[in-house]
Amino acid sequence: MCGIVGYVGKKQAAGILLDGLRKLEYRGYDSAGIAVRNGAENAQVVKTSGKLQALIEKTENGRNICGTCGIGHTRWATHGVPSVANAHPHVSGNCAGTGNGPVESSVVGVHNGIIENYAELKAKLMSKGYSFYSETDTEVLVKLVDYYYNKYRIGPIDAINRTMVRARGSYALALMFTDYPNQIYAARKDSPLIIGKGDGESFLASDVPAILKHTRRVYYIQNHQSARIEADSITFFDLNGDEISLPEATIEWDSQSAERGGYEHFMLKEIHEQGMAVRNTFASMVRNQAIHLEECGLTQNVLNGISHIDVVACGSAWHVGVTSQYVIESLTDIPVRVELASEFRYRNIPMNKGTFVIVISQSGETADTLAALRKAKESGVPVLAVVNVVGSSIAREADYVLYTMAGPEISVATTKAYSAQLMAMDLFAIQLSYSRGFITEEKYKYYIEEASRLPQKIEQILKNKEKLQWFSSRISSQTSMFFIGRGLDYSICLEGSLKMKEISYIHSEAYAAGELKHGTISLIEDGTVVVGVMTESSVLEKTFSNMIECKARGARLIALTSEEHPVSDDGEVDFQISVPASDEIFLPSLAVIPLQLLSYYTSVNRGLDVDKPRNLAKSVTVE
């Protein structure tokens, strides 16, 4: 995601802009730039490709650019390759701006988002005599503002509003007009934008970290609203150009909030911490190339006494259970039943000698799961708890406890706790299989080695997330999505669908791919997004055939595969994501990462509260 900063006041702007961009580096970018005005002079635009450090060095950390009003930007390429010409800020004139002096231009701007009808608008502007120096949709947007501003001889707000009516897509926009020194104008649709008020100075940013050191007083501009930002005043307007009032908010960080570590949201931070969470959980259970469960009481005798397993959980933890069902049953001859805790506690479920109950909960306080645990214990069957919180109620009451090492998880939508639970359950399944004689020692060592590589592969996926950032902007206006797969892939569809619906509020459903023709396919229509998870080689072709059936009915297809078994690249899918190759029982740990990112960026593009989705709590401690 791109980053925007803006400043107007009495201080030199360049250094403040660069510092703000530094705070936004976590968003990912391929180029950076700033535009600074010194009074009535034309703006000086400086842009570089690559890391922000190049811009800092080029401007001598802002010291060689004079002016008290400016805007800055870090760009991640969407329209046009990473280059200086395509970097922001963009201007309404014909010179891209390289830092060799002021730029002759009536409008200078930066923009986050994607303008979907930019080609149509560009053609219109070219017919009016405009020429273009870049491949970007942002240059089109800036020149469209300039066109309305000059053609109709109207003020900046009216020109921006006319542009908002014509432009389709998402945007957070910050502009400076040559005729209006010491003013910044802003507008928003779907992409985040905040305005900060200081003492004789004002700020603009795409997220709080960029301006937090300067002010805690902020305004959250809403869709189709615009603003005029001056050092001593901030004025807001609706789409009709009428002045409106917005409430001032105060940023109040508690000790947990201060630990975001520069990430935009806890969820994004926690997605990036999954490699560490999985690595730490693995290390807590494996030593000297052997899995040790005896320390939590799971001795050979206990494992030998298991003839049936009930996995009981809620939400994402239940999805871990579904994945574990496939893994345990593929490695042993032990039947596994996965139950929702809220159903298990009220059903008359036979629990006989040899039944072994596993409850999974991040907090260890989940009310339904705790009640299910107590029901199992009343029936006299042993209970293993997989939890993340030492000393929690579930941990205290279970017979055996496997602790995941995810650390504190603040975002409501679980990510790293989920991945740590998958690792714990995979290692449990491997040890159960080996201790019961279902796999050889050679296979046992192979699985442990494969599991040890997962953290590195997770981190590899996270380093290559740019395509997901881009594609999420293409689906953020969806109203319905479907996730389909078979076997282990279906279990990941469940989690991917839940992530999408809980933080983006897009209606989303997961289906076993073979069930589509039993009713669900009637919901597929033009533009419906269908995500096909296809990491299991034995059923890949069957799931792909189901996807093609959806495409024939107008669906847009996303394919999630392993690098070892990609689908054919002949244009049949609209977007393909591949995860590193691994043994197939571990591929769910990798395949879930792109689905988490896709959900996260979609939610951000929709301007939602990612960490605190509506109506949800982190830990459901009441029924």
The residues that are catalytic are 2, 618
Of 587, 464, 482, 567, give the one whose Cα is nearest residue 527.
Answer: 482
Q: What span, in angstroms and rounded, lies between the C-alpha atoms of 423 and 445? A: 16
Task: List Cα–Cα distances, 213 to 23, 197, 203, 371, 424, in angstroms.
Answer: 10, 12, 11, 46, 41
Please give the single-letter amino acid code of residue 102: P
Q: What whole-number distance in Å separates Cα of residue 315 and Cα of residue 338?
A: 12
The three-class DSSP label of residue 535 is coil
Q: How far is it, in rounded angstroms, from Cα 589 to Cα 323? A: 10
> ∠ CA 138-141-142 to the nearest 5 degrees?
90
**Length of the chain in terms of residues written:** 623
Nearest-5° angle of CA 142, CA 143, CA 145?
70
Provide the 8-state DSSP code for 312: E
CA dist 86 → 77, 97, 109, 393, 474 (Å): 8, 10, 13, 55, 20
Distance separating alpha carbons of residues 591 and 560, to the nearest angstrom = 7
600 neighbors 503 (Cβ within 8 angstroms): yes
Q: How wide is the angle at C-alpha 454 spanned by C-alphas 304 and 425, nearest 5°?
A: 25
> Which tokens hold the place of 102?
């002021």
